[in-house]
Each structure stands twice: as structure tokens, then as C-alpha cells.
Amino acid sequence: MRFSFTNKPTLLLLTTGLIAFMISLVSSCAQISMPTGGDRDSLPPVLVKASPAEKSLNVTSTRITLTFDEYIGELQELQKNLLVSPVQKANPVITSNLKTITIRLRDSLLPNTTYSINFGDAIRDVNENNTLRSFTYIFSTGNTIDSLTLDGQVTMAETGKVDSTVSVLLYRNADDSSVLKRRPDYLARLDGSGNFHFENLPAATFKIYALKDGDGGRTYNTLSEAFAFRDTNVVITANNNPVKLLAYVQEKAASLTGTPKPAVEKKLRYGSSLIQRTQDLLTSLELTFNNKISLNDTVKIILADSNYLPLNMAAVSIDSSKKILRVTAAWKPETDYTLIIPKNAVRDSLGGTLSKNDTLRFKTKRVEDYGNVVLRFKNLDLTRQPVLQFMEGELVKYTYPVTSSEWTNNRFPPGEYELRILYDTNKNGKWDPGNYSKKLQPERVIALPQKLGIRPDWDNERDIIIDN
């Protein structure tokens, strides 16, 4: 039987399609692709063997080996992360090799004592850098593993905030001078909220302290270190209440170089606190000089009205720096004033005066430029002489004694403020630190959680619950 194709274009199309199919088939067979990998390893190393075994009893060896299921990288910031309890006089020697970490304790082991070695975040695997967080190895030199705990919180007394670099110290069989002379028996770090947690404690009586250790000695040896103490001992039982500690700095660290003595400039000049020639109703008008000054008793600075008529309503004074001159007055709203400054009214330490007589013309703010503030307090202990502090950053901008559960002010400068309550127990208007030698606790400041935004010509109200 004979077949014949009389349609040549059709034959050409079929032939071309067949060739293209064969090329595609060969190409797909020849192409080699990389095999797809599995999921990324996100698991930290796992301990598979320990010698002595975890939670072993009656341990006498000071050499410990820990073997994991994968290769361990270099231990990260070991000095910062490692925490051995009870605290060692000599730091242990710790090395890592392949999958094994070796620990050699250099202190003699105490009898009938539970030891814990917390690595913090130091242990990570090699490949993906996965961190084994807060890994702790525990053993005992006695017949039991101590299992009691103690929790608490440390806040900074002056600010009501947290400093997570502070540590908490426990001293067993201690007197009041132990924290000054020797290392603690147990140590715990704070978390970001100021909380601490001790584990594997024995049933015993301890003295408890908090310390921001400046020199690494783990003793309270300078008054410029943040420090806290509890008035009574802590008895560790199965049902301990949380311990709250207030840390303070008794004396600010002095500058090693001191403050250089400023040079006296030849020309006496000043600047004012006026902003766009406007004076705040609530504060003094301040003139800040480049040199220290004194007032001339015979030539006076005069506050006058817009017609230069003197007003007997102002007091002129110089602050302790001798560079700031204050004009204090009961300012009237939306009023024009004139401050007349004779060139001989002030003198600097070299006898220099201003180069010419000067006059400042300004106007006071309107009542509408201020906000009305109403704060209603709950749980505020009025017997502890509370003082309300308005903060701008770390600066105490305004302070007001609080005598009732509601505080109001109908002329408050607009802005955004943090609020604090100072329990001013000695009524001197400022925060006072503690004194360990006199067993005086610091005055407490409570930082209120939310900022207060005050708008001008607006009723700014808030209900505040105090957490004592």
C-alpha cells in the first residue's frame, strides 16, 4: 500500500514541529538541577550526655563534660553570660571543642551543697548560630538537690525606673559588713523589667542586697555604686513573698579631672530668656551673662510699664552661679513691660560693665496659651508627703506638693511630660538617697506609665492609679 502527501506545506509544518519536539525532549533530559534542600535548622543544640550526669548527687569531681547533638561554636561573651552558684572565688576554666564543653571548677566543692552553672546565652551551634538560652547544669555534693526559689524586683529609687545591669546578692551566715568585705554566696541578674529569680536555694537565712558593680569585685566598696539593702533578713521557705528593693547612689562620682576654671572675657555681655520678645507668666525673666557678676547697690535695674513708669512689683537677684540674673514678678497676662538695664548696674569680677545702657521691651503671654490640668489619684499615700514631678527627659521641670486625691492647675505650660510621684518623707522638696551605714532607706519615686500631653486652652484630665 502506498501513501503519498500532495500537500507540501502541511508536510513541512509537521516536520518542523517534530524536530522542535525532539530538541525540547533532548534539552530537558540533559538539564541538571540542584536538589532542593530541607528547612533551615532553627533548633538550638541539645544536651545528649553529661559527666557527671545532670542532677547527680554526692559529686566529688570538679571536672564536668557536656556533650551536645551538634557542633558548638565559640562560647559567646562567657564572662558576661556565665553564672555559677554558689559564687566561686576563682572563675572556672571552660573550653569548647567540637560537640563538647569542658568545665573545670577551681574552687573546692562545699559539702551538702547544690551547684548550678548557668550559661545564659553563651552556647550556640556552628552552622546557624542558634542559641541555647539560659542552659543550666545542676549537681549536688550531698544527698539532695535544693529546690527552693526566691523572686523579687529592683527599681531605681530616684527615677522609679529599671537598670538591668544591677545584680542581686545573697549572703549566708553574714553580718552587716559582709557585703563590704567578701563576695556573695548567690547572685542573680535582672531582666528588662527589673525582676530577679533565684533557683536551687537551700532552706536558710540570707541577707539580700542589689549592686551595680563598678569594679567587678562584687562588694559594695564605693558610695558611687548603685546599691540596695533590705532592712531584715530573708528566710528561704517553700512560700516566699517577692522581695522589693530600692537601689540608690549615695554620692555621685567626682570628676577625675575637675572642672576647668572659666576664663573671664574682656567684654561683658548677656542674653535673655525671652522667646520672640514674649515672657512666660509662670517664671522669672532671666539674663545670662558670660562672666560672673555682682549687683551695683547704687544703680538699679528697673522694671517699668510701656511708658517707662517704674513698677514696684519686681525682685532682682543673682543665682549661685553668679552668671544668671533673675527678675521675678507677678506678671499680668497680655501686658507690655520694659526692663531698663543701666550699663553700670552690674559688674564682673574684673570690674567690667556693659558697654551701654540697654532696654528690653516684651509682652507677657495670654491665659489661653496655657492648659488646664486635672489629675485624679487613686491609692496615693498622702501621709508620705507626695510631690508631683513633671519631667522633660531626665530633667525635673516642675514640682508640686500634692495634698489631696485631686490636683488641678489652670495655667500649665503646654508640652509632653513624664510624670513621677516622689514620696518626700522629710519634706525638703527633693529626693534623698539612702545610707547603709545609718540603715536609712532612700526616698521612693514612682514613675507613672504614660506621658501626659498638655494642650493650650484645653482641659487636660487624667485618672491615675498609684502602684505602691
On the question of pLDDT at 159 being above 70, the answer is yes
DSSP reduced 3-state for 326: strand
Which residue's C-alpha cell is 548557668?
Answer: 118
Residues 329 and 344 in one domain: yes
Share of the chain above pLDDT 90, in %: 81
- How high is the pLDDT of residue 11? 39
**CATH assignment of the domain containing 394:** 2.60.40.1120
Distance CA 200, CA 210 (A): 19
The chain-wide mean pLDDT, for the chain, equals: 90
Determine the residue type at 135.
Answer: F
Give the domain extent around 377: 370-465
- The answer as to whether 235 is a domain residue is yes
Chain segment 224-246, per-residue pLDDT in tens:
999 999 999 999 999 889 999 99
- Among 136, 168, 203, residue at a domain's last position: 136
Residues 237 and 163 in one domain: yes
Residues 353 and 435 in one domain: no
- The answer as to whether 408 is a domain residue is yes
What is the band of 256 on the pLDDT scale with cuts at 50, 70, 90?
low
CB 442 within 8 A of CB 433: yes
Chain segment 24-49, per-residue pLDDT in tens:
544 444 444 445 555 666 899 999 99
- Among 79, 108, 136, residue at a domain's last position: 136
Give backbone dihedrals phi and psi of 18, rounded to 5 degrees, phi first: -65, -45
- How high is the pLDDT of residue 252? 85
Chain segment 70-97, per-residue pLDDT in tens:
999 889 999 889 999 999 989 999 999 9
Residues 157 and 243 in one domain: yes
Residue 97 C-alpha cell reads as 571543642
Q: How many domains does the chain have?
A: 4
**CATH assignment of the domain containing 185:** 2.60.40.10
Residues 361 and 379 in one domain: no
- How high is the pLDDT of residue 405? 96
Q: Which residue has the higher pLDDT, 111 or 4?
A: 111
- The answer as to whether 23 is a domain residue is no
- How high is the pLDDT of residue 23? 44
Between strands 167-172 and 83-85, the pairing is: unpaired
